[in-house]
Amino acid sequence: MSKFNQSLESLLALDAITMLIKGNNFEISRLNTAIAVLIKKRIPFDLEFTPGQRRLAASAVLTIYINPTTTINFTFQFQEGTLPG
C-alpha cells in the first residue's frame, strides 16, 4: 500500500473526520474537534469563513491537504440560502 493511501486512510479513520462525513446535523463543536485533531496530528488545513448576508448563506469551507495535488473539502452551511461560489 502506498504512503499516500495509508495517509488518506488514517485521516479518514479519525473519529472527528468521520463525524464530519456522516453528520447530518452540523454542530460547530464537531468542526472545532476536527480542527483540534488536525492540529494535533500536524495535518495541514485551511478554514475559510464567509459571513451571511442577504444574498449568501453563512458558511465555512475546511480544506485538508493530503499532498500537493490532493485535498479534501468540507463545506458547512450555517443558515438557509445560497452558498458562495
Q: Is residue 49 part of a domain?
A: yes
Q: Is residue 83 part of a domain?
A: no
Instruction: Give the count of domains, the chain.
Output: 1
Max mean pLDDT among 3-12, 26-35, 53-62 falls in: 53-62
Q: Is residue 66 part of a domain?
A: yes
Cell of 23: 453528520
Q: Is residue 34 part of a domain?
A: yes
pLDDT in tens, 41-80: 888 999 999 888 888 888 889 999 988 888 989 888 876 6
Q: DSSP labels for 29-56?
A: HHHHHHHHHHHHTT--EEEEEE---SSS
**Average pLDDT in the 7-17 region?**
68
Q: Is residue 41 part of a domain?
A: yes
Q: Report the candidate in 30, 31, 26 with the shortest Cα–Cα distance to residue 80.
A: 26
Is the pTM higher than 0.85? no
Handedness of CA 31, 35, 41, 45 (dihedral sign): positive
Domain residues for the domain of 40 are 3-77
Q: Is residue 69 part of a domain?
A: yes
Q: Is residue 84 part of a domain?
A: no
